Amino acid sequence: MSGQTIDFPLNYSPTDDEEFMNPRQLEYFRRRLAAWKREILRGAETTLKILQAETLGEPDPADRAASETDWSIELRARDRQRKLIAKIDAALRRIDDGDYGYCEMTGEPISLRRLEARPIATMTLEAQERHERKEKISRDT
């Protein structure tokens, strides 16, 4: 957003009666994505601090196994979140490039409801469903 200031009320929420992906909507989604990313990074930092502080040296093998299982689950969750951060970064780049909010398959606008629910969406709901059906068919063959 090349130095452009946007009138942005605190309670703003995009609506269908305004121009699609106008500067205010883009700023709204940029802020949501950036806040989501910060939240994930804070959680990862907390996990790392706990991991560094705790040891898996419980003397009881059952306790040690339970701790290792818990940490394995936590680390898998953090790996999913690392992948989610990559998707958030890609969405932020699409905002900068002017492609955000448009389906990568059809070029049609992605509904605001879908973007509210999943701000990293790259396809309209219909295109996503077609894509998933095609993937399922190719997996089943």
Q: Is residue 90 part of a domain?
A: yes
Confidence (pTM): 0.78
| 136 occurs within a structural domain | yes
Distance CA 62, CA 46 (A): 26
pLDDT tens digits along 19-39: 999 999 999 999 999 999 999
| Residue 3, in any domain of the structure | no
Task: Kindly tell me the burial class for residue 133, based on how many C-beta atoms sit within 10 Å of its own C-beta (0-12, 13-18, 19 or more).
Answer: exposed
Q: Is residue 40 part of a domain?
A: yes
pLDDT at 12 over 50: yes
Q: How many domains is the chain built from?
A: 1
1 band by pLDDT with thresholds 50, 70 and 90: very low
Give tens-digit pLDDT for 43-92: 877 777 766 666 555 677 777 677 777 777 877 877 888 899 999 999 99
Q: Is 6 a domain residue?
A: no
Domain that holds residue 117: 23-140
Distances (CA, A) of 31 to 13, 44, 61: 12, 20, 46
CATH number at residue 49: 1.20.120.910
Tens digits of per-residue pLDDT, 122-132?
A: 999 999 999 99
Average pLDDT, the chain: 87
Q: Quick one: pLDDT at residue 75?
A: 78
What whole-number distance in Å separates Cα of residue 125 and Cα of residue 123?
A: 6
Residue 138's identity, in one-letter code, is S
Q: Please indicate, yes or no, if residue 107 is contained in any of the structural domains.
A: yes
